[in-house]
Amino acid sequence: MHRLTAALRFLLFVLIVALVATVSLGVVWRYALGSSLYWATEVPNFLFVWLVFLGAVVAYREKKHIAFTAILDRLSSRGRRWPPVAVHAIVLAFALFLLVTGSMVVWQTMDSPSEALKLPLGYLYSVLPFAALMIAIDAIGEIVRILRPPIREPAS
């Protein structure tokens, strides 16, 4: 699991570097060379969409999403076990919903080309079912981790 996070983080590194590079290129082309790159907004936009959804996966794995936990924190340790299970179950349900509907959208848009590069828009949308799948896997992992009975330390 840890290796998957590291791989996703590397992907984010590539995306943000590419984002900075392509926006910079757009600026340079326009002001130094006086002509605008025809893909100067489309490519950064696509990279950014990918960055947002893959970043959301990593944020979920690293528990960085903003949530309101003031009430949960007041619960006793016995009562504390079930709300997180419910939270991860809700996240899992939404992820599965996005996996299905997102895949449908990818399927529908494989024939519609993007404005500048004429790439199938399905490539752009495909990050959604991919991210949803990643989040679903992690949500199942979290639920299993919480519900599995704790391993007893051997008395020494």
Partner 1 sequence: MIGIIFVVFLVLLFVGVPLGIGMGVAAAVALVVDGNYPLTIVAHKMINGVNSFPLVAVPLFILAGALAGEGSIAPRLVRFADALFGHIRGGLGHVNVASSMFFGGISGSAVADTAAIGSLMIPTMEKQGYSRADAGAITVCSSTIGILIPPSIPMVLYGVAMSTSVGALFLAGLVPGLLVGVFQMGLVWALARRKGWPQRAERAKAPELWTAFREAFLSLLLPVFLLGAIVSGITTATEAGVIGVLYALFLGGVVYREYDWRGLYRILVDAAVNSAVPCFVVATTSVVAWVVAIVQFPDALVTFFQAMDWGPIVVLLMINVFLLFVGMFMDLVPALLLFAPILYPIAQAAGIGPVQFGAIMVVNLGIGLVTPPVGNCLYLGVVLARSTLWEMSKAALPFLLVNVFVLLLVTYVPAISTWAPSLFFDGIK
User: Which stretches of the chain bind partner 1, using CB under 8 A?
Assistant: 9-10, 12-13, 15-17, 19-20, 23-24, 26-27, 31, 41, 44-46, 48-49, 51-56, 58-60, 62, 64-72, 83-84, 86-87, 90-91, 93-94, 97-98, 101-102, 104-105, 108, 124-125, 127-128
Q: What is the CA angle 33-36-42, rounded to 5?
A: 140
Instruction: Output 66 or 155, the one with its CB closest to partner 1.
Output: 66
Nearest distance, CB of residue 113 and partner 1, angstroms: 15
Nearest distance, CB of residue 88 and partner 1, angstroms: 9
Instruction: Output 65 or 152, the one with its CB closest to partner 1.
Output: 65
Nearest distance, CB of residue 154 and partner 1, angstroms: 34
Nearest distance, CB of residue 153 and partner 1, angstroms: 29
Buried b (16+ CB within 10 A) or exposed e, 19-49: beebbeebeeeeeeeeeebebbebbbbbbee
Instruction: Output 76 or 156, the one with its CB closest to partner 1.
Output: 76
Nearest distance, CB of residue 144 and partner 1, angstroms: 19
